[in-house]
């Protein structure tokens, strides 16, 4: 049995960063205007799940403000995906935070993060908790972030019907530290090349060995199922990106054959852009070679 195939709809690759975020603004890929068709195109191509970032900067542009218009838009997106059997996993932090939180020190500041993060999780859980199929609260738990925010996250979201995935960077975070505090362990798998690099079979074989070691070691340390919470082939050449994805699929299938429980993998981005050309769908929303390799 293989793993489910998911598409990551991160802020940078969907709506773009808002002018209320600590980075940006950026244009995105037109997802805001055409998300019903985009979701249908992903489902038609073979995606089973989507990881959708609920953008903190848009929903809470000021500390005392919650934007109901944006909340309704996200509710509509989740409902549309669910209606076509795309399981939605909500991400609450993915590369940006509101400017006002950045001015208070951001997620690296103990006082700021322990004050504001639980309130954000509680509010989004109240608004979207009955709609989503699962949670990946952090696209990747930030290196150096205090431990308490994840414990707060698990305390708020854990124990419900929707699974909660702690997504870690295996280069920075000990997987075993999340034992008992996550439904499944999410891994943001590492790469070791730049967008324009020429990759040969040896490069890909070595990468596959490394990914396999990461997955097996994490599964042993955390004693939990594995979700690949984010992976990008990160290459400008479509055919090379396809070979990277093929190697990833082989690696995960090999791990499953060895008894590792790999439930799901999210490829990022879902939709290609000039900044991220190796998406599952191209700018015209047709499957790319990488998308065909992943979703076939």
Structural domains for the chain: 4-295 (3.20.20.80)
pLDDT 10s per residue in the chain (296 long)? 699 999 999 998 889 999 999 998 998 899 989 999 999 999 999 999 999 999 999 999 999 899 999 999 999 999 999 999 999 999 999 989 999 999 999 988 999 999 999 999 999 999 999 999 999 999 998 877 788 899 999 999 998 899 999 999 887 666 777 888 999 999 999 888 888 788 999 999 999 999 999 999 999 988 899 999 999 998 889 999 999 999 999 999 999 999 999 999 999 999 998 878 889 999 999 999 999 999 98
Place of tokens 């990946």: 136
pLDDT, position 174: 66
Give the C-alpha separation, 208 to 211, whole Å: 5
**pTM given for the model:** 0.95
């Amino acid at each position: 049995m293989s793993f489910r195939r998911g598409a990551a709809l991160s802020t940078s690759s969907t709506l773009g960063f808002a002018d209320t975020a600590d980075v940006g603004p950026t244009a995105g890929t037109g997802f805001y205007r055409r998300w019903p068709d985009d979701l249908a195109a992903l489902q038609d191509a073979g995606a089973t799940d989507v990881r959708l970032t609920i953008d903190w900067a848009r929903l809470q542009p000021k500390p005392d403000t919650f934007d109901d218009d944006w909340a309704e838009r996200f509710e509509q997106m989740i409902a549309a995906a669910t209606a076509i059997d795309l399981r939605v996993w909500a991400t609450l932090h993915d590369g940006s935070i509101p400017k006002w939180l950045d001015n208070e020190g951001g997620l690296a500041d103990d006082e700021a993060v322990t004050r504001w993060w639980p309130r954000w999780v509680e509010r989004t859980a109240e608004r979207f908790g009955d709609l989503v199929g699962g949670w990946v609260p952090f696209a990747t738990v930030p290196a150096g972030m205090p431990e308490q925010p994840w414990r707060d996250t698990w305390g708020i979201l854990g124990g419900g019907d929707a699974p909660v995935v702690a997504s870690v960077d295996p280069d920075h975070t000990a997987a075993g530290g999340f034992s008992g505090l996550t439904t499944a362990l999410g891994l943001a798998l590492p790469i070791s090349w730049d967008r324009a690099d020429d990759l040969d079979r040896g490069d890909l074989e070595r990468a596959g060995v490394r990914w396999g070691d990461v997955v097996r070691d994490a599964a042993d340390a955390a004693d939990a199922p594995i979700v690949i919470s984010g992976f990008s082939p990160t290459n400008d050449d479509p055919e090379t990106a396809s070979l990277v994805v093929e190697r990833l699929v082989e690696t995960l299938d090999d791990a499953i054959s060895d008894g590792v429980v790999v439930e799901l993998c999210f490829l990022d981005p879902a939709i290609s852009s000039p900044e991220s050309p190796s998406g599952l769908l191209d700018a015209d929303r047709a499957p790319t070679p990488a998308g065909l390799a992943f979703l076939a």
